[in-house]
């Protein structure tokens, strides 16, 4: 447990991550097999996600960066100077400096559960913005976080880019937004990236690029299970699929079995029929109304909204 009392990884006698094993075994026992998307991001998966942001079909990163690059003056006007910018998740080397450059912040407070990423991001930002107070906090931001005393008197700006909110089902997203509201307290604002509903062909291509990087990212989860949980999943008998679910307005990633397969994970056996899938990620997409409704349910009032020139992605400013 770290200083905030959170358990980062809980390993058993054989060095197996207990939470990973529990999630995988429970998920594989379901009628529709499903594994929480957070397990996609081991070192290999995190690198593959970085590679995804470079493929031509994956537009969200470029579209959001375009907004942050071009709308600085409007952000400054709408947000005001002197706020403590509280970033949920370690700062990306590209997006965060664009925001900090635009708004004259009073301090920068990156929050992350992974201490290594957090310290690297904090050091990076300190070097880019000499004179800006930087106070990294190692914490699980799905719950209320106690912010450093140094920023107690500053109004806060929460920053949650990348449409990461879209990876949560609405009830979880609402819980997170309410926790953010608690963490940031009164007078707070929130700047949040939300990807937009568009032609399903464009969406499906963004999550199934021709070079196969997203497929690798998805199947890496099965490889990770084999490696870390003593698994025998025949990964070569699976393929990646990106599916638009129109009822829930989301892209779903699945690993589809190409043949009847049997395999073991952590001593338990599982069988899948050809065509059966393991659901590995959701990426919800929004329109103006669904975005506003989600924010309102999360105790935030939307006050401004920006999109890229092609109208693919939105960055929304909301007030507590």
List interacting residues with ligand AVJ (CB under 6 A): 52, 60, 162-164, 166-167, 207, 214, 281, 283
DSSP string, 270-290: EEE-TT-EEEEEEEE-B-HHH
Which residues, in sequence order, are CB contacts of 180 under 8 Å at separation 6+? 88, 141, 158, 160, 190, 298, 300
C-alpha dist (Å) from residue 231 to 13, 155, 257, 270, 274: 18, 49, 16, 11, 19
Nearer of residues 183 and 214 to ligand AVJ, judged by Cβ:
214
Q: CB 97 → ligand AVJ: shortest distance, Å?
A: 18
Nearer of residues 207 and 238 to ligand AVJ, judged by Cβ:
207
Q: CB 312 → ligand AVJ: shortest distance, Å?
A: 12
- In the chain, what's the furthest Cα-to-Cα distance? 61
Distance CA 221, CA 241 (A): 14
State the burial class of residue 146 (Cβ atoms within 10 Å of its Cβ: 0-12, 13-18, 19+).
Answer: exposed
Nearer of residues 158 and 166 to ligand AVJ, judged by Cβ:
166
Q: CB 89 → ligand AVJ: shortest distance, Å?
A: 10
Nearer of residues 105 and 162 to ligand AVJ, judged by Cβ:
162
Q: What residue number has its CB nearest to ligand AVJ?
A: 283
Q: CB 163 → ligand AVJ: shortest distance, Å?
A: 5
Q: CB 186 → ligand AVJ: shortest distance, Å?
A: 29
**CA dihedral in degrees (24, 27, 33, 38; nearest 10)?**
-60
Nearer of residues 35 and 103 to ligand AVJ, judged by Cβ:
35
Nearer of residues 126 and 164 to ligand AVJ, judged by Cβ:
164
List the 189-195 sheet strands across, edge first.
Answer: 137-138, 107-112, 84-88, 156-160, 189-195, 313-319, 301-307
Nearer of residues 60 and 155 to ligand AVJ, judged by Cβ:
60
Q: CB 246 → ligand AVJ: shortest distance, Å?
A: 17
Q: What are phi and psi of 34, to 5 degrees?
A: -155, 140
Nearest Cα to 253, choosing from 279, 277, 272, 286?
279
Q: CB 86 → ligand AVJ: shortest distance, Å?
A: 19
């Amino acid at each position: 447990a770290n200083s905030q009392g959170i358990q980062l990884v809980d390993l058993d006698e054989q060095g197996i991550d207990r939470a990973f094993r529990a999630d995988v075994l429970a998920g594989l026992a379901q009628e529709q097999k499903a594994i929480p998307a957070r397990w996609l991001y081991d070192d290999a998966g995190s690198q593959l996600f970085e590679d995804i942001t470079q493929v031509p079909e994956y537009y969200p990163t470029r579209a959001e960066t375009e907004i942050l690059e071009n709308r600085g003056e409007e952000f400054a006007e709408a947000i005001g100077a002197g706020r403590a910018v509280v970033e949920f998740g370690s700062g990306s080397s590209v997006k965060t400096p664009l925001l900090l450059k635009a708004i004259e912040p009073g301090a920068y407070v990156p929050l992350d559960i992974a201490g290594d990423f957090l310290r690297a991001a904090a050091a990076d930002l300190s070097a880019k913005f000499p004179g800006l107070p930087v106070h990294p906090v190692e914490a699980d931001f799905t719950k209320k976080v106690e912010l450093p005393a140094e920023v107690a008197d500053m109004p806060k700006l929460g920053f949650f880019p990348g449409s990461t909110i879209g990876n949560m089902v609405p009830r979880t997203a609402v819980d997170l937004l309410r926790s953010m509201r608690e963490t940031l307290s009164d007078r707070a604002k929130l700047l949040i990236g939300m990807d937009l509903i568009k032609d399903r062909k464009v969406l499906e291509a963004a999550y199934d690029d021709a070079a196969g990087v997203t497929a690798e990212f998805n199947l890496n989860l099965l490889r990770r299970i084999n490696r870390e949980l003593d698994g025998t999943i025949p990964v070569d008998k699976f393929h990646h699929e990106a599916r638009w679910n129109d009822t829930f307005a989301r892209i779903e990633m699945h690993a589809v079995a190409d043949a009847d397969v049997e395999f073991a994970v952590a001593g338990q056996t599982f069988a899948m029929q050809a065509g059966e899938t393991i659901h590995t990620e959701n990426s919800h997409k929004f329109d103006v109304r669904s975005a506003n409704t989600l924010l309102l349910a999360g105790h935030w009032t939307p006050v401004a909204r920006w999109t890229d020139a092609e109208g693919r992605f939105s960055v929304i400013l909301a007030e507590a």
